[in-house]
């Protein structure tokens, strides 16, 4: 047997990622909160549906009160970087009014990370909106762009000296796909037209926020911030390789899905690329161009969320995005499973493919496992377990899983061993 060490670049960022709503506990004032559904069920008909379909977030991991404990665990598993998001609704619970306590709370969180020498990737929008914005139509309303930019500027003024990397929005593609096309996430809509509108508004918001964050941080703190967004990317492929139309089909889907937001928001509005990769999609062409988005059931390995496990896909998307010649960060990659051997294998295989992409020229500078803690998985509630750390919902006790120790070892060695 051959044993080989795959060494990652020096100063590689090793981290984990989370989002506020999924771990903090119900803030009561965003558009995923049961309070909101109850309050607006007459005004917004989808809220009635949401009461039945969207699981209540409840206390989640009570991270709002336990962040110090969780940051200590971050250190324990050797993370040198961490991706978190702010809950906009806590900071601006009433339109135009900033909540000083929430702001101070987040400031203390960021300072705590800084003191621990952990680099900070801060997401400004990770799917949830303040209730007042949702009541005004959310991202369908063009004014959302203005509101978001005002918030982004405010945060840049307040936290510009603490944040290392800014992510304006998380996964505009899946936000639109799940919330506006498939309708299983808030606001439970199924309309291509609405989806397109929201996508365009998010792209406009990114472009403007990019400029504002740059101006603000430069003026106030004299430094150039690094700003991007977290892109959900899939590795698209087809079954038939030798037909032009099948190839064209993949090309178009790749372009729209993985590159659409970059193009729409302006390629100059990105200091780095951040991608979230989970699964591949094989396309089956039906008719002239349009085909099936999805995989024929070939009885392959899947996760608890029924996603195909395809590590080579991360190599493909990394190579595809490296054409922009910008630093790349994998801001999410993870698996929902109760099988710790499988989680380790998932991490190992995805990192192995990442290593090959780096060797092939992709400028990958960081990897964030999703997620630090078992948490609230949107419409699926608490069933899928993505965490490196288990959380007992009754006692809130945290317990490091086997895979957490495995990931720690990789971080310590700055690479992984391959046997073949």
Tokens describing residue 63: 């991270």
- Block residue for tokens 């984990």: 16
Report the nearest approach of ligand BGC to the CB of residue 307 (Å).
8
Helix orientation angle between 100-115 and 63-76, rounded to the nearest 10 degrees: 10
Strand partners of residue 125? 169
Stretch that binds ligand BGC, among 40-48, 168-176, 202-210, 308-316 (CB under 6 A): 168-176
State whether the Cα torsion 282-285-291-296 is positive or negative: negative
Least Å distance between CB 86 and ligand BGC? 14
Q: Which stretch binds ligand BGC (CB under 6 A): 112-120, 169-177, 244-252, 358-366?
A: 169-177
The residue among 18 and 238 lying less far from ligand BGC, judged by its C-beta, is 18
Torsion angle, alpha carbons of 404, 407, 412, 418, to 10: 140
Beta strands 398-400 and 389-391, pairing class: antiparallel
Q: Interface with ligand BGC by CB under 6 A: which range of 130-138, 170-178, 217-225, 253-261? A: 170-178
- Minimum CB separation from ligand BGC for residue 22, in Å? 6
Site string for ligand BGC, 209-238 (x = CB under 6 A): -----------------------x------
Q: How far apart are CA 29 and CA 38, in angstroms?
A: 12
Binding to ligand BGC in span 317-336, by CB under 6 A: 332
CB of 375 to ligand BGC, least distance (A): 7
Q: 174 or 189: whose CB is closer to ligand BGC? A: 174
Of 37 and 386, nearer to ligand BGC (C-beta) is: 386
- Tell me the three state secondary structure of residue 119: strand
Beta bridge partners of 30: 130
Q: How many CB atoms lie within 10 A of CB 5?
A: 10
Least distance in angstroms from the C-beta of 126 to ligand BGC = 6
Task: Choose which of 16, 129, 231, 276 interacts with ligand BGC (CB under 6 A).
Answer: 276
321: left (phi over 0), alpha (psi -120 to 50) or beta: alpha
Chain residues that interact with ligand BGC, rule: CB under 6 A: 19, 22, 170-171, 174, 232, 276, 332, 370, 377
């Amino acid at each position: 047997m051959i044993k080989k060490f795959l060494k990652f670049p020096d100063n590689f960022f090793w981290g984990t990622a989370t989002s506020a709503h999924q771990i903090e506990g119900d803030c009561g004032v965003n558009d995923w909160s049961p309070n909101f559904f109850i309050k607006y069920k007459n005004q917004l008909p989808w809220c009635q549906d949401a009461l039945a379909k969207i699981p209540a977030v409840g206390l989640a991991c009570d991270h709002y009160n336990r962040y110090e404990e969780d940051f200590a665990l971050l250190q324990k598993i050797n993370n040198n970087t961490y991706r978190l998001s702010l809950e906009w609704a806590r900071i601006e619970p009433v339109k135009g009014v900033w909540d000083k306590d929430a702001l101070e709370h987040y400031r203390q969180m960021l300072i705590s990370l800084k003191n621990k020498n952990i680099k900070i990737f801060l997401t400004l929008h990770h799917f949830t909106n303040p209730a007042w914005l949702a009541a005004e139509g959310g991202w369908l309303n063009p004014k959302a762009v203005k509101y978001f930019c005002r918030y982004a500027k405010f945060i840049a003024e307040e936290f510009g000296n603490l944040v290392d990397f800014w992510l304006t929005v998380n996964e505009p593609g899946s936000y639109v796909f799940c919330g506006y096309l498939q309708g299983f996430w808030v606001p439970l809509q199924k309309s291509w037209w609405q989806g397109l509108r929201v996508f365009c508004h998010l792209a406009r918001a990114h472009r403007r926020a990019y400029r504002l964050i740059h101006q603000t941080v430069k003026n106030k703190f004299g430094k150039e911030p690094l700003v991007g967004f977290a892109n959900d990317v899939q590795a698209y492929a087809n079954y038939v390789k030798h037909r032009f139309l099948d190839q064209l089909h993949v090309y178009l889907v790749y372009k729209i899905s993985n590159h659409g937001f970059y193009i729409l928001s302006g390629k100059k509005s990105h200091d780095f690329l951040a991608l979230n990769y989970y699964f591949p999609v094989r396309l089956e062409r039906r008719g002239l161009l349009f085909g099936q988005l999805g995989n024929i059931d070939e009885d392959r390995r899947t996760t608890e969320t029924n996603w195909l496990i395809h590590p080579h896909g991360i190599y493909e998307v990394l190579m595809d995005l490296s054409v922009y010649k910008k630093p790349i960060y994998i801001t999410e990659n993870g698996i929902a499973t109760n099988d710790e051997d499988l989680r380790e294998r998932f991490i190992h295989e995805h990192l192995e493919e990442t290593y090959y992409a780096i060797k092939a020229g992709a400028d990958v500078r960081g990897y964030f496992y999703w997620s630090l803690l078992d948490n609230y998985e949107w419409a699926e509630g608490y069933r899928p377990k993505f965490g490196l750390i288990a959380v007992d919902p009754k006692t809130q006790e945290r317990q490091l899983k086997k895979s957490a120790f495995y990931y720690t070892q990789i971080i310590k060695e700055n690479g992984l061993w391959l046997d073949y």
